[in-house]
Amino acid sequence: MDRRQKKTREAIFQAFTKLLSEKNYHQITVQEIIDEADIGRTTFYAHFETKDYLLKDLCEELFGHIIDTAIGLPHEQHSHYSCGTATDPVFLHLLRHLQENDRNVLGLLSSDNNDIFLRYFKSNLKKLIITQYADKGRLKNSELPSDFIVNHISSSFVETVHWWVSHKMQETPEEITGYFLKTVETLVRIDDLND
């Protein structure tokens, strides 16, 4: 994708994010996105088939790079952020990124559309837990199916984030990580969370 295409795509994302902070996803029209981004209809459809595809790509971009950088993978949009040390639990990295509020993620998570974003967040989080914990043998409870444990951990973390955001993030990311680790300590080797 060339620089001009990236700039147009970014303008569409910004317009869509702004509209999502103001109204329900189902009330937003493609025309409103086009008007807000100051682009033509053909340009919009050259990038996204539908509004649903735009939502999917926005969420993948948003949560994908947060999760990638939380596990130490390079990402051009976050390479300058300081996320702590390599030995911090990956969940702490995620919370720090959320606290930095890149792309107004906190506004989206606390908006009327939060169920949509929490669902995408959970989907990306499941992939993270599978690659970082299940695939590496870091799940504790062998009596339960691993996909059940992965779903439980990701659901619990999403609800933890939702609770934190809805309580105006009064606790630090470190405190929230501590709360979360207490809830999953029977399922994941806590020592391994610091690897």
**pLDDT value at residue 182:** 92
Query: Which has more confidence, 48 or 64?
Result: 48
Rounded Cα distance, 162 and 44, in Å: 32
Q: Residue 134: pLDDT band by 50, 70, 90 thresholds?
A: confident
- The overall average pLDDT reported for the chain is 83
- pTM for this structure? 0.75
pLDDT at 190: 62
The answer to whether residues 194 and 87 touch, using CB atoms and an 8 Å cutoff, is yes
pLDDT recorded at residue 85: 53
Residues 6+ apart with CB under 8 A from 71: 90, 93, 128, 132
The answer to whether the beta carbons of residues 125 and 162 sit under 8 Å apart is: no
pLDDT score of 51 more than 50: yes
Structure tokens at 72: 């130490």
How far apart CA 12 and CA 107 sit, in angstroms, is 17
Min mean pLDDT across 77-91, 98-112, 119-133, 164-178 is at 77-91
What integer pLDDT is reported at residue 103 of this predicted model?
A: 62
What pLDDT, on the 0 to 100 scale, is given for residue 80? Answer: 35
Cα four-point dihedral sign 181, 184, 185, 190: negative
Residues, the chain: 195
CB 69 within 8 A of CB 83: yes
Q: What is the pLDDT of residue 109?
A: 75
Instruction: Give alpha helix (H) positions in 77-136.
Output: 90-100, 105-109, 114-129
Query: Which own/partner pairs from 7-12 qualify as long-range (CB within 8 Å, at least 24 positions apart)?
Result: 8/37, 8/39, 8/43, 8/47, 9/47, 11/37, 11/38, 11/39, 12/37, 12/39, 12/44, 12/47, 12/48, 12/54
Residues 13-33 pLDDT 10s: 999 988 887 888 889 999 999
Tens-digit pLDDT profile for residues 156-192: 999 999 899 888 899 999 999 999 999 998 888 766 4
pLDDT in tens, 29-47: 999 999 999 999 999 999 9
